[in-house]
Amino acid sequence: LNALGLESRFGDAPGCRLHWYDSGAGGGGASAPPLLLIHGMFTTGASLAPLALLLRSSRRVLVVDLPGMDYSYSTSRPARYGRARPCSLEGS
């Protein structure tokens, strides 16, 4: 999605490494609040890329991978069977 203008970003939260896509400033400029797109069950942030691409002309768009999905994973629980374990943001 980087090639389409959605930059892949990472950040740390307690027990988690979080991933999101960022469209940049968008057409609304700094005064327009960003839109946060959150995917549903059994999907990833990449599933919302077509919508993010449409909306970025008027706003900055952030598309998050929820903990345990795609590139967001637990840093406090060991991986099992070669896959990252989901993390929880409860109490953060």
pLDDT one-digit tens code per residue, 38-58: 988 888 889 999 999 999 988
- Report pTM: 0.72
Largest CA distance in the chain: 46
Q: Is the pLDDT of residue 16 over 60?
A: yes
Residue 66 contacts residue 39 (beta carbons within 8 Å): yes
Q: Which residues pair with 7 in a beta bridge?
A: 22
Q: Which residues pair with 76 in a beta bridge?
A: none
Q: Is the pLDDT of residue 62 over 70?
A: yes
Percent of the chain with pLDDT over 70: 76
- Six-digit token string for 56: 């970025």
